[in-house]
C-alpha cells in the first residue's frame, strides 16, 4: 500500500467552475467532459456533484476545482458559474459561493437570474442559447455551455472535442456530430460577446498519462487488486457506484457479483461466500449498515473475513442521501452488541481509496475478521484527475490448512498470534461449526466462562498485536523556523484536504503545523498518536456536529484533555477560513 497523499504548496494557478440545471439539462455530463478535457490537456482537477433531496429527476449541480498541480479541495469562491436554467438554484447557493470577481453565464431566453446572484456582485452575461440552437439540428444547450466555458477559460477546443468523443462516442455518430457542432457554436457565441480570459496562460501542463476516477471507483479497483472475487449489495446512495464499477470487471477475473433483495441478504451472502473460501465484500451507507449489524456480529464471532464499505451521508434515517457528513463513526465503532472487536479504516483522499481498499481486503483475510472501510459522499462520488495508481505490496492472505495438515484440527485454537488457520472448504477433517454461539477451540458451542474469556481475548488480541506498519496514518509537518505556536491538526477522511490547505496558509502567520490524518480508526494506535501530539497544541477537525471523533480520541486518552474541537455538521464542508478563524482568531490577516 502506498503512503503517498497529494501534498503541495499553496496553489497559485487555480480555477473554480460550477454548472447547474434542472433534471435532464445535462449539467453533470458537461462537468464530466470539462474535467476530462483538463486531464487530457495535462492538468489536474476534482469534480463534486450535488443534487436535491429527491436524488434523481430534480435539479443538480457540479463544482470543479482545477489546477496545474494535484488538488482535491473545492474553493471558497467560484470564478465562473454557468446556469443551464435557474430552477431551484437557491438550493445550491451555499455550495456555489459567488462574489464580485465571479462571472455568471446563463440562457437569457429562459428565466432571469435570482436575486441572490445580483446580491453577490458577480458579473452576469446572458446569452441567447435558444436562438443559437435553432441553427443546430439536435443540438443541446449543455454542449453550447461547454464551448462557452472552454472559450472563456482559453482551453484548446481540440482537447474539448477529444474529451467529448471519449465521453459520448458510444452514443453514435449522430449524437457526436450534433454535440461537436454545438461545442464549436458555443465557443463562437462567447467570443462574439467577450474576449477569452486566457486563464490557462501561465499554467504548466503535465503531459504524462493520468486517470479520471471517483473515490467509489477507486474503492472497487483496490478491492479487486486485493483479491475480492465475490460482492453482493443492495443499491443505496451514495455507494452504488462501487458495485457499478465492480459489475463488468469482477466476472472477467473469475468472480461474481449479485444485487441482493435487501441489505440483510447482501451481508449474509458475503459471509457465506467468505466461509466458502472466497474473499468477499459489500457496500452500503448508514441506513443499510444499520440493517447489517447483526450479521456482521456473526462474521466477528465466527472469525469469517468480511469487507464492508460504508459511504457516509447526512443522517439520521433517510437524512440527506446526496450530501456528505462524517457522522456514522459512533455507529461503526460501537454499533454491535457484546464485545465485537473489528477493524475500521478510512481513506483520506480520492486517490487513497484504492490502496486503502486493497489494504482493507488484506486485513480482513489475514485477521479473519470484519473490516469496515468508511468513506463519505464527498470522497466517494467526487471524480478527480489522478496520477496512475500502483499497488507495490502483495495482498495479505488468510491462513489455511490443506489436506494432510488437519490432524486434530481446532478451528479456534489458541495460538501465539491469536490467529488460527481456516481449513480449506470441502475437507472432511476440517469440518467445524461456525455460527453465532460462543464456542470452545474446536468450534463446539460453549457457555463455559473460560471458553468465553479465551475466545473474547483471542478475537481482540489478534487485532491489537498485529503490526499495521506505517499505513495507520498520514502525517506531514508544515514547519516554520522560530514559530510562535506549534499546532497539531488531527483529522480523518474527507476533512484531510482542508487541514492540509489550512496548514499551508498558517505558515504565512509564522505558525508551525503538523497534520495527522488517521486511516486506522480501530484499533486506535494510541501510543503513536500521543507521541505525535506531544508538546503541541492539538485541534481536532471533523464533519460532525456532536464531535464524535474528538470524543472517541478523548475516550481512548489518545489526545490531551486540552485538545480543542473544530466540528461542524454537513452538508457544507468545513472551510479553510473556519479553521484559520478558530485557531488564529477572526481578525487575522
Cβ atoms of 184 and 178 within 8 Å: the answer is no
Residue 113 has pLDDT above 80, yes or no: yes
CA–CA separation, 301 and 455 (whole Å): 9
Answer with the one of 354, 386, 418 that is the final residue of a domain: 386
Question: Residue 9 contacts by C-beta under 8 Å, 6 or more apart in sequence?
Answer: 69, 504
SS3 56: coil
Centre a 10 Å sphere on the Cβ of residue 565 and count the other Cβ atoms it contains: 18
Final residue belonging to a domain, choices 448, 466, 484: 466
DSSP codes joined into one string, 213-271: EEHHHHHHHHHHHHT--EEEE---TTTHHHHHHHHHHHGGGT-EEEE-SSHHHHHHHHH
What is the residue-averaged pLDDT of the chain?
94
Residue 506 in any domain: the answer is yes
> Is residue 485's pLDDT more than 60?
yes
What integer is the mean pLDDT of 361-375?
98
d(CA 234, CA 258): 9
Give per-residue pLDDT as tens, 222-261: 999 999 999 999 999 999 999 999 999 999 999 999 999 9
Considering only CA atoms, which of 92, 97, 126 is closest in space to residue 21? 92
| Together in a domain, 126 and 41 | yes
**Burial degree of 534 (CB within 10 A; 0-12, 13-18, 19+):** exposed
Radius of gyration of the chain, Cα coordinates, nearest whole angstrom: 26
Statement to judge: residues 185 and 235 lie in one domain: no
Looking at the structure, do residues 382 and 403 belong to the same domain, yes or no? no
- 309 & 450 share domain: no
- Chain center to CA of 523: 21
Domains of the chain: total: 4
Contacts with 198 (C-beta within 8 Å, 6 or more apart), sequence order: 154
The answer as to whether 263 is a domain residue is: yes
In the sheet with 511-518, reading across from the earlier edge strand, the strands are 473-478, 511-518, 485-492, 537-542, 564-567
pLDDT for 77 equals: 94
CA distance 333 to 149: 45
Closest by Cα among 76, 75, 77, 116 to 99: 77
pLDDT at residue 589 is higher than 70: no
CA distances from 305 to 68, 291, 398, 525 (A): 42, 19, 8, 22
With beta carbons less than 8 A apart as the criterion, state whether 360 and 454 touch: no
CA nearest neighbour of 310 among 250, 221, 371: 371
C-alpha closest to that of 40 among 204, 198, 180, 209: 209
Instruction: Give the integer Cα–Cα distance in Å for 147 and 141.
Output: 10
Residue 138, number of CB atoms within 10 A of its CB: 12
**For position 57, what pLDDT does the model report?**
63
264 and 324 within one domain = yes
CA 387, 389, 392, 393 dihedral sign is: positive
C-alpha cell at 418: 491469536
Distance of CA 331 to the CA centre of its chain: 18
- Cell numbers 497544541 correspond to what residue? 537
Same domain, 483 and 461: no
Per-residue b/e over 575-588, b at no fewer than 16 CB within 10 Å?
bbebbbebbbeeee
Check: CB of residue 171 under 8 Å from CB of residue 180.
Answer: no
User: How far is 523 from 504, CA to CA, in rounded Å?
Assistant: 30
C-alpha span between 521 and 501 (Å, rounded): 23
Same domain, yes or no, for 249 and 357?
yes
Q: How far apart are CA 303 and CA 371, in angstroms?
A: 11
Domain that holds residue 456: 399-466
Same domain, 448 and 490: no
In a shared domain, residues 439 and 310 = no
CATH number for the domain that contains residue 365: 3.40.50.970
Residues 222 and 324 in one domain: yes
Under 8 Å between Cβ of 179 and 164? yes
Per residue in 30-66, pLDDT tens? 999 999 999 999 999 999 999 876 656 678 999 999 9
Q: What is the mean pLDDT of residues 289-316?
A: 97
pLDDT single digits (tens) 509-559: 999 999 999 999 999 999 999 999 999 999 999 999 999 999 999 999 999
pLDDT band at 209 (very low <50, low <70, confident <90, very high): confident
Residues forming a β-bridge with 258: 232
Last residue of a domain, one of 157, 192, 227: 192
Residue 9 has pLDDT above 50, yes or no: no
Grid cell of 392 as nine digits: 507495490
C-alpha cell of 532? 505525535
pLDDT, tens digit, for every residue of 131-148? 999 999 889 999 999 999
Whose cell is 443492495? That residue is 234
In a domain, 393, yes or no: no
Is 394 part of any domain?
no
Q: How far, in Å, CA of 156 to CA of 546, rounded?
A: 47
Is pLDDT of 4 > 70? no
Q: Are 566 and 539 in contact (CB under 8 A)?
A: yes
Q: Which helix (H) or strand (E) holds 131?
A: helix 129-133
Would 391 be classed as within a structural domain? no
My answer on whether 329 and 457 are in the same domain is: no
Q: 513 - beta bridge partners?
A: 478, 487
Confidence tier at 424 by pLDDT (50, 70, 90)? confident
CA–CA dist 305, 369 (Å, integer): 5
Strand, helix or coil for residue 492: strand
Q: What is the β-pairing status of strands 306-312 and 280-284?
A: parallel
Q: Rounded distance, CA 476 to CA 474, Å?
A: 7
- Report residue 361 CA to chain centroid gap: 17
CATH number for the domain harbouring residue 103? 3.40.920.10
Q: Is residue 207 part of a domain?
A: no
Q: Indicate the SS3 state at residue 60.
A: strand
CATH number of the domain that residue 537 is part of? 3.40.50.920
Are 430 and 515 within one domain? Answer: no
Amino acid at each position: 500500500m502506498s503512503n503517498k497523499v497529494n501534498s503541495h504548496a499553496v496553489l497559485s494557478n487555480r480555477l473554480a467552475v460550477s454548472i447547474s440545471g434542472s433534471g435532464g439539462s445535462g449539467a453533470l455530463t458537461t462537468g464530466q467532459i470539462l474535467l476530462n478535457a483538463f486531464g487530457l490537456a495535462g492538468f489536474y482537477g476534482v469534480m463534486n456533484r450535488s443534487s436535491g433531496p429527491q436524488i434523481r429527476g430534480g435539479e443538480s449541480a457540479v463544482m470543479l476545482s482545477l489546477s496545474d498541480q494535484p488538488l482535491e479541495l473545492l474553493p471558497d469562491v467560484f470564478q465562473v458559474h454557468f446556469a443551464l436554467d435557474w430552477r431551484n438554484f437557491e438550493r445550491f447557493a451555499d455550495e456555489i459561493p459567488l462574489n464580485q470577481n465571479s462571472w455568471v453565464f446563463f440562457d437569457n431566453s429562459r428565466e432571469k437570474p435570482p436575486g441572490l446572484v445580483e446580491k453577490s456582485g458577480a458579473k452576469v452575461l446572458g446569452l441567447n442559447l435558444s436562438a443559437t440552437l435553432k441553427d443546430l439540428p439536435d443540438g443541446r444547450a449543455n454542449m453550447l455551455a461547454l464551448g462557452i466555458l472552454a472559450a472563456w477559460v482559453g482551453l484548446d477546443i481540440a482537447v474539448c472535442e477529444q474529451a467529448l468523443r471519449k465521453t459520448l462516442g458510444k452514443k453514435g455518430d449522430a449524437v457526436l456530430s450534433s454535440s461537436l457542432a454545438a461545442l464549436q457554436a458555443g465557443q463562437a457565441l462567447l467570443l462574439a460577446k467577450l474576449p477569452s480570459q486566457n486563464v490557462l496562460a501561465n499554467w504548466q501542463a503535465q503531459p504524462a498519462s493520468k486517470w479520471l476516477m471517483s473515490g467509489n471507483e477507486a474503492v472497487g479497483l483496490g478491492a479487486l487488486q486485493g483479491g475480492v472475487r465475490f460482492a453482493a449489495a443492495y443499491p443505496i446512495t451514495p455507494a452504488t457506484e462501487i458495485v457499478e464499477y465492480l459489475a463488468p470487471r469482477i466476472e472477467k477475473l473469475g468472480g461474481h457479483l449479485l444485487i441482493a433483495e435487501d441489505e440483510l441478504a447482501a451481508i449474509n451472502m458475503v459471509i457465506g461466500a467468505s466461509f466458502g473460501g472466497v474473499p468477499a465484500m459489500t457496500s452500503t451507507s448508514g441506513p443499510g449498515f444499520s440493517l447489517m449489524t447483526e450479521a456482521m456480529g456473526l462474521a466477528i464471532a465466527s472469525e469469517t473475513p468480511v469487507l464492508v464499505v460504508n459511504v457516509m451521508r447526512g443522517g439520521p434515517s433517510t437524512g440527506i442521501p446526496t450530501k456528505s457528513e462524517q457522522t456514522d463513526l459512533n455507529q461503526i465503532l460501537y454499533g454491535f452488541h457484546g464485545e465485537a472487536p473489528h477493524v475500521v479504516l478510512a481513506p483520506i483522499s480520492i486517490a487513497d481509496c484504492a490502496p486503502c481498499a486493497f489494504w482493507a481486503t488484506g486485513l480482513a483475510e489475514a485477521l479473519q475478521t470484519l473490516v469496515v472501510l468508511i468513506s463519505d459522499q464527498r470522497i466517494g462520488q467526487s471524480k478527480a484527475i489522478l496520477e496512475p495508481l500502483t499497488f507495490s505490496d502483495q495482498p495479505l492472505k488468510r491462513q489455511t490448512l490443506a489436506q494432510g495438515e488437519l490432524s486434530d484440527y481446532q478451528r479456534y485454537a489458541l495460538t501465539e498470534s491469536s490467529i488460527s488457520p481456516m481449513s480449506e472448504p470441502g475437507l472432511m477433517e476440517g469440518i467445524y461449526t461456525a455460527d453465532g454461539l460462543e464456542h470452545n477451540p474446536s468450534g463446539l458451542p460453549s457457555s463455559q466462562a473460560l471458553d468465553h474469556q479465551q475466545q473474547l481475548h483471542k478475537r481482540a488480541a489478534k487485532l491489537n498485536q498485529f503490526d499495521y506498519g506505517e499505513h495507520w496514518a498520514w502525517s506531514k509537518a508544515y514547519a516554520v523556523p522560530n514559530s510562535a505556536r506549534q499546532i497539531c491538526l488531527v483529522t480523518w477522511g474527507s476533512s484531510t484536504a482542508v487541514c492540509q490547505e489550512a496548514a499551508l496558509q498558517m505558515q504565512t502567520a509564522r505558525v508551525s503545523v503538523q497534520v495527522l490524518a488517521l486511516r486506522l480508526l480501530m484499533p486506535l494506535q494510541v501510543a503513536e498518536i500521543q507521541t505525535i501530539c506531544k508538546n503541541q497544541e492539538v485541534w481536532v477537525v471533523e464533519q460532525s456536529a456532536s464531535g464524535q471523533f474528538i470524543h472517541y480520541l478523548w475516550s481512548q486518552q489518545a489526545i490531551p484533555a486540552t485538545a480543542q474541537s473544530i466540528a461542524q455538521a454537513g452538508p457544507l464542508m468545513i472551510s479553510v477560513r473556519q479553521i484559520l478563524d478558530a485557531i488564529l482568531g477572526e481578525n487575522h490577516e
